[in-house]
């Protein structure tokens, strides 16, 4: 049989079809890659210990995506599959905005690291006594939150006295926390030349007439595996999720789950973990009762 020759114009047509097919395959691969996105991760630490700060709220906000996460026991957070685009990252704790940074995610499968700023060495000293209705409060925690995002922390001694040395100048908010006492926030403190050096802090005791119940349970993934270091926060029932939320109680889950003592009432429980989507649940706490709430988190993958 005589073979039929391929005309030049037919050969060109076949080549164009092959190139078009290859282009479509390449474009599909690029689209799939774009859908993967990058990861955004970072850490918050305190001085002078250098330990991580848990419970810091982190907001990723932009036209392409909006997410809220909370730092874990290591002070770390991770958001997976963040679409390419421009974002603002904001960090807050105890209702105080700590730090904001713009971020451009412009490559897929790339880790973008945004750490909280750290307090540098300085010549300032902040000291004082933490006391309440019945006198000094041993072991009270004193947190110094810089407007620029740094965090200093110290624990009062057995006499309720505290001292933080060698810290840098700046405008700060001071927060005192102690068991059985209401958190105390003191804004607009100036550290530096002729600034505040001694700050005594008075705390109110929580009313003994308030009755408590417990909220407990496990945090698991979709496969039923127990998740450690997941954030569990109990908030007033009308809360709108934001980085300025102040919890009635909060904890990080462990192998035995989580456990919180909460005043009786109706609340919203919010749960999240790095790499997982935030979930919420209505919780009713009865006096001397135990509300068992298991949370299932869905991966951001």
pLDDT of residue 6: 43
pLDDT of residue 15: 34
Extents of the domains making up the chain: 38-113, 121-202, 212-297
Q: What is the mean pLDDT of residues 178-205?
A: 94
Q: What is the mean pLDDT of residues 129-144?
A: 96
- Structure tokens that stand for 271 in this block: 């749960």
Q: How many residues does the chain have?
A: 301
Strand order in the sheet with 151-155: 151-155, 141-146, 170-177, 184-191
pLDDT digits (tens, 9 = 90+) for 7-62: 444 443 433 333 333 333 333 344 343 457 899 999 999 998 999 999 999 999 99
pTM: 0.84
pLDDT of residue 14: 35
CA neighbor of 167 nearest in space, from 156, 155, 151 = 151
pLDDT of residue 91: 97
CA neighbor of 163 nearest in space, from 131, 195, 128, 124 = 128
Q: Does the pLDDT at position 3 exceed 60? A: no
Query: Under CATH, what is the fold of the domain 38-113?
Result: Immunoglobulin-like (2.60.40)
- Structure tokens that stand for 224 in this block: 């039923």
pLDDT digits (tens, 9 = 90+) for 223-260: 999 999 999 999 998 888 899 999 999 999 999 999 99
Q: Does the pLDDT at position 301 exceed 70? A: yes
pLDDT digits (tens, 9 = 90+) for 70-103: 999 999 999 999 999 999 999 999 999 999 999 9
Q: Does domain 121-202 have CATH number 2.60.40.10?
A: yes
Is residue 2 very low, low, confident or very high in pLDDT (cuts 50, 70, 90)? very low
Please state the CATH superfamily assignment of the domain spanning residues 212-297 in this structure.
Answer: Immunoglobulins (2.60.40.10)
HSE of 26, CA atoms in CB hemisphere, 13 A: 6
pLDDT of residue 9: 46
Q: Let me know if the fold of 38-113 is the same as that of 121-202.
A: yes
Q: What is the mean pLDDT of the chain?
A: 88
Is residue 108 very low, low, confident or very high in pLDDT (cuts 50, 70, 90)? confident
**Beta-bridge partners for 111:** 39
């Amino acid at each position: 049989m005589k073979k039929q020759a391929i005309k030049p114009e037919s050969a060109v047509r076949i080549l164009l079809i092959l190139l078009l097919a290859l282009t479509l395959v390449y474009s599909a691969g690029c689209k799939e890659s774009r859908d993967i996105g990058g990861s955004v991760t970072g850490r918050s630490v305190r001085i002078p210990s250098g330990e991580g700060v848990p419970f810091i709220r982190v907001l990723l906000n932009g036209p392409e995506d909006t997410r809220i996460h909370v730092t874990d026991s290591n002070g770390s957070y991770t958001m997976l599959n963040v679409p390419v685009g421009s974002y603002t990252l904001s960090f807050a704790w105890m209702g105080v905005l700590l730090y904001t940074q713009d971020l451009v995610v412009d490559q897929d499968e790339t880790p973008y690291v945004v750490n909280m700023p750290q307090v540098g060495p300085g010549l300032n000293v902040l000291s004082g006594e933490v006391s309440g209705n019945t006198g000094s409060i041993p072991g009270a925690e004193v947190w110094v939150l810089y407007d620029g995002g740094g965090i200093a922390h110290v624990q009062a001694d057995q006499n309720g006295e505290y001292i933080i040395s060698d810290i840098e100048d700046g405008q700060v908010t001071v927060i005192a926390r102690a068991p059985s006492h209401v958190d105390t926030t003191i804004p607009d403190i100036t550290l530096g030349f002729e600034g505040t050096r001694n700050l005594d802090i008075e705390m109110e005791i929580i009313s003994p007439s308030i009755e408590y119940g417990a909220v407990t349970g496990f945090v698991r993934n979709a496969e039923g595996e127990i998740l450690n270091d997941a954030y569990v926060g109990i908030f007033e029932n009308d809360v709108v999720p934001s980085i300025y939320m102040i919890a009635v109680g909060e904890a990080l889950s462990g192998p035995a789950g989580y456990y919180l003592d909460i005043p009786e009432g109706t609340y919203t429980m919010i749960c999240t973990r790095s790499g997982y989507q935030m979930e919420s649940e209505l919780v009713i706490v009865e006096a001397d009762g135990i509300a068992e709430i298991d949370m299932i988190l869905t991966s951001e993958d």
